[in-house]
Amino acid sequence: MKALLQIIRPALIALALFAMSMFITPRVANAQEEKKSATAHVENKSMLDLYEEGGWVMHMIALTSVGMLSVLVYCIVRINARKMIPLEFQASLESALARQDVDGAMRICEADGSSLSHVIRETLTKAGAGVAVYTKADLEAAASETIFHEETKFMLWVNMLNAFAAVAPMIGLLGTVSGMIQSFNKLSSGAAKASDFAGGIGEAMVATAAGLLVAIPAMFAYFMYKNILQSLIARLSHSTSTLINKFVSGSAVEYTAEQA
């Protein structure tokens, strides 16, 4: 009998282990398949899926990004040396001012839309009506006032980049709070599974990331164009001062009786 038990016992143990393996293996395989499918589902999410997952604040972030890009395009197109201080225009204007040809200088300025043309045109207009009454102090005072107006005009646009950089993460934080409120509401209603909180947490994380995605480039563009504008305004002041010196030290053109 003992010999028979010694033979049957290993067979029963082996049978039990086989049964356990048959029971556990499908569960492990199913878990791995579910994990792979979940990973594949996450990896296959499109931008539109993430946009929808971020909740209602994504519409506000989208509008903020459109506004930021519009202001950035304006800064790229308008705040540069070619648009503010064109070298060809400066050379032709310098020639006219060196001859104290006010009418010719005004015609050149009216044909150009740069900041330098605006400064010189306003300077000649505000300083007086005739060559005899122009003084260097009057010209420089009028030029300084117009340069300040030009700087203020462009700085308004540059400051808009700073505004977008500050507002975008705040909107993302609003989405974070909204997502966490949603998760806590489900928790208070008796939800216990992790999948029950996935929607609210996903909304919170996506909204935060979207806000930062808009704010970081806006902040970088703000500091970059603030420095660019300061450099261009300094160059504009120097060019204006040079042209005023040319005008004051130049010789007046002879006017005909018809021009007089």
Mean residue pLDDT of the chain comes to 76
Dig out the tokens for 43 from the structure: 């990896």
pTM of the predicted structure, to 2 decimals: 0.70
Residue 31 lies in a domain: no
Reported as a single tens digit per residue, the pLDDT across 85-128 is: 988 888 888 888 888 888 888 888 888 888 998 998 888 887 76
For residue 54, pLDDT beyond 50: yes
Count up the domains in the chain and report the number.
1
Reported as a single tens digit per residue, the pLDDT across 2-36 is: 444 444 554 445 445 444 544 444 444 455 555 55
Per-residue pLDDT band at 207 (split at 50, 70, 90): confident
Domain with 96 in it? 48-249
Residue 255 lies in a domain: no
Distance CA 15, CA 26 (A): 18
Amino acid 178: pLDDT: 76
Distance CA 249, CA 41 (A): 76
3-class secondary structure per residue, 74-121: HHHHHCCHHHHCCHHHHHHHHHHHHCCCHHHHHHHHHCCCCHHHHHHH
Amino acid 249: pLDDT: 79
Residue 258 lies in a domain: no
Quick check: 170 and 211 in contact, CB under 8 A?
yes
Angle ∠(125,131,135) on CA atoms, nearest 5? 80
Q: Once rounded to an integer, what is the mean pLDDT over residues 124-136?
A: 67
User: What is the DSSP secondary structure assignment for residue 131, as one 8-state letter?
Assistant: G
Residue 14 lies in a domain: no
Distance CA 254, CA 88 (A): 26
Residue 17 lies in a domain: no
Dig out the tokens for 48 from the structure: 């539109």
Q: Once rounded to an integer, what is the mean pLDDT over residues 135-161?
A: 89
Q: Which residues contact 203 (CB under 8 A, 6 or more apart)?
A: 53, 54, 55, 175, 178, 179, 182
For residue 181, pLDDT beyond 80: no
Per-residue pLDDT band at 251 (split at 50, 70, 90): low
Amino acid 95: pLDDT: 86
Amino acid 7: pLDDT: 45
Residue 232 lies in a domain: yes
Amino acid 248: pLDDT: 81
**Taking the mean position of all CA atoms in its chain, how far away is CA 9?**
76
Residue 209 lies in a domain: yes
Residue 4 lies in a domain: no
* 3-class SS shares of the chain: helix, strand, coil, % to 5: 85, 0, 15
